[in-house]
Chain A
Amino acid sequence: MPDSKTPKADFSDVESGSSSTAPPASERTYTVVKGDSLSKIAKQFYGDAQQWRKIYEANKDQIKNPDLIHPGQTFRIPGA
């Protein structure tokens, strides 16, 4: 059991990636975790934070404010 007095570990700077030997289907998905932003997700998938608008446009149905995304949201990631 973790000690309840111990401060929660901070995983906001965790970096991740994925790849497969299988051919990609037309779109990928990503589930938002704490500390994410559209720019950060764009950097991860496209290598360029400026591409955040591409993700925003593909998920306008669930992103009301691009500066405010929530853990647990699953976004479609269009091809680069």
Chain B
Amino acid sequence: MHAHGPRVFALSFALTAIALASCKKETPPQNETAAAAPAPAPAAFSVTVIELGKQVGPDKRVTSPTTTFGPKDTIHASVASDGAAPKKIIAAKWTYQDGQVVKEAAETIAPTGPAATEFHISKPSGWPAGKYKVEISVDGSPAGSKDFEVKK
């Protein structure tokens, strides 16, 4: 009986070693993947909604969307966006029906999540009646546009 002791011990040691070795072979890739997995990447920046209105709230969103304005109205364009980026240039180009550029402006932001950027134009002497458009671009690429009208 005593003679079997060392052999049994050696056998169980060998089996344990094999078991550990086989575990070692299979486990690391999973562990490495889990350990090396980076934090979820922030969502890519994108424009979600463009709205026009006569007023914006503290959240920079128009309070009551419309596409028809009076000659003395201040016209607001609110650009809602989502995603994060170290630097994004959101630009608004306002044009009149004959193609004339009414105004261009840009905001350079460092968004960290959902955001709203507003652009506004006013004309103390009154807007000429007609059709207008505001085109929104992000880093020079078109991101959407809205048509609107000024009525006397």
With contact pairs A31-B105, A33-B101 given, residues A18 and B119 touching in the complex (Cβ less than 8 Å): yes
Interface band, chain B: 35 or more
Name B's interface SS. Answer: strand
**Contact at B120–A18, with CB atoms within 8 Å?**
yes
CA–CA, A27 and B81, complex, Å = 19
Q: Contact partner of B101 among A15, A21, A26, A71, CB < 8 A?
A: A71
A18 CB to closest chain B CB, in angstroms?
Answer: 5
B122: nearest chain-A partner, CB-CB: A15
Residues on A with C-beta less than 8 A from B86 are 25
Selecting from A6-14, A51-59, A60-68, the interface stretch reads A6-14
**Contact at A20–B105, with CB atoms within 8 Å?**
no
With contact pairs A8-B98, A11-B96, A25-B87 given, residues A19 and B117 touching in the complex (Cβ less than 8 Å): yes
**Contact at A22–B119, with CB atoms within 8 Å?**
no
CA–CA, A71 and B96, complex, Å = 16
Q: Contact partner of B100 among A8, A25, A29, CB < 8 A?
A: A8
**Contact at B60–A28, with CB atoms within 8 Å?**
no
- The answer to whether the Cβ of B19 comes within 8 Å of any Cβ in the partner chain is no
CA–CA, A27 and B87, complex, Å = 9
List 27 A-B residue pairs with CB atoms under 8 Å apart, sorted by A's residue number.
A9-B96, A9-B100, A11-B101, A11-B103, A14-B122, A15-B121, A16-B94, A16-B122, A18-B105, A18-B120, A19-B117, A20-B60, A20-B90, A20-B107, A20-B115, A21-B59, A21-B116, A22-B81, A23-B111, A24-B107, A25-B109, A25-B110, A27-B108, A30-B105, A30-B106, A31-B93, A31-B105
